[in-house]
Structures are given as structure tokens and as C-alpha cells.
Chain A
Amino acid sequence: QSALTQPPSASGSPGQSVTISCTGTSSDIGGSNYVSWYQQHPGKAPKLMIYEVTKRPSGVPDRFSGSKSGNTASLTVSGLQAEDEADYYCSSYADNNMRVFGSGTKVTVL
């Protein structure tokens, strides 16, 4: 199972929006509604930001939103804040009850 493809980096100024893509195949993202996004700060465990494509866990700001079209999922962070600077990973359910993570995107707040 190959990793899902994400851009290595993305950036935006405070208050702007940034969108991160996550491209897979019909065996994972394209065939599943179980796509999620994790935020990871240096030295910390990942934190769930979006699950089941669009749902936010309690406590996650509504500035974070998810979507999916075909084999590509996206995470949008609106109204960027300094604390949003982190690594972001997508994840998807895949065939045969497997899971796969994305390659990761480093978001920089300029």
C-alpha cells in the first residue's frame, strides 16, 4: 500500500486560507468515506482534525474543513493563525481493511 500523495509544503499569511490536497486511488480515498486529517506539532503525537471526510471532533475550530472529490481529498484552513503552523497528514481506509497515511504537508504561517 503506497502512501497517499500530499504537497511537501504550503503557506499563507495570518488570516488567509490554505488548502492541502491528498491524492490516492480508487482502492483508498476514491472508494471510502473514511478519510481523515491529523495535525502534528514537533515532538507531539498527531491530533485528529477531520474524520469521515468532513466531520470535526469536538474542540476543533470550524476554520478547519474537509472535502473529497474522486480520488483526492482536501483540507482547508481558513483564517490562518500562528498556532496552525504544523505538519498535516491525511489518512484513509483502504481495501482489505487496511489504513494508509499521506506523505505529510508542512504548513508555514508567514
Chain B
Amino acid sequence: QVQFVQSGAEVKKPGDSVKVSCKASGHTFRNEGIHWVRQAPGQKLEWMGWIVPTNGDIQYAQKFQGRVTFTRDKSPAIIAYMEMNNLKSEDTATYYCATSKGITLSAPPGSDHWGQGTLVTVSS
């Protein structure tokens, strides 16, 4: 049973940083990436980038380059992290980690695994 379990909700002030974790279990990663996707309240999905847990390859969407950092631990379990600094009110959103064939091209055919989402609220 593949599961991605994310860390709990966060409340931050403008200018703060936040680090969201995503622990993977029941899945053997080969070269597929864990993607990060965010969704502001009532808004569309927004792709942020990915990290490949096995070799550490990373790609960021242009919008988040320089303000977001992806990292990962490999042992004893794979945990992916998304850290965002200099938070603004418009960063208030639910942040998802996912390995889904729709966005993870090297994932197994039809696979679709998402974390439960982490709500990050930025408010003064």
C-alpha cells in the first residue's frame, strides 16, 4: 500500500520560512521524482517542481526558483521536504507532494499517489 504522509498545518507570518515534509512508504523509488504542487484556496493547481529521491536531481518551476528548496532523506525511509522562504500572504495554500503518472513521466503506468496536503497559512 503506497502512502505519502505529509506534515501538519502551519501558520506563519509574512517573511517567515516554512518546511513541509512528505514521508513515502510502501513504494520502491527507481528514478521517478516526487513532485510538489500547491493550490491556493479556491484556485487552480500550480506545479512547483520535483526532486528525485534516489539521486537528488531537482527541477524548480521558474516562478519558485530562488525561494523554494527541495531536499530529501533516504534512510531509513524516503522523506521529501519543501522549504519556502520569505513567505507572503499569497503563499497561503495547500501544498501537495505526489508521484503521479500524469506529471511524473517515469512513474509506473497509471500510478497516482498523493499526500493528504499541508495547509500553510501566511497572515500577520
Contacts and interface: CB of A to CB of B under 8 A. Distances in A.
**Which of the four size classes fits the interface of chain A?**
20 to 34
A98 B61 CA distance: 7
A100 interface: yes
B115 interface: yes
Contact of B110 (A51, A101, A102): A51
Interface of A: 1, 3, 34, 36-38, 40, 45-48, 50-52, 55-58, 89, 91, 93, 97-104
Interface of B: 35, 37, 44-47, 59, 61-63, 96, 98, 100-103, 105, 109-112, 114-117
A38 B110 contact: no
29 contacts: A34-B105, A36-B100, A36-B103, A38-B45, A45-B98, A45-B115, A45-B116, A45-B117, A46-B96, A46-B114, A47-B112, A48-B112, A51-B101, A52-B101, A56-B110, A57-B109, A58-B110, A91-B102, A91-B103, A93-B105, A98-B47, A98-B59, A98-B62, A99-B35, A99-B47, A101-B45, A101-B47, A103-B44, A104-B44
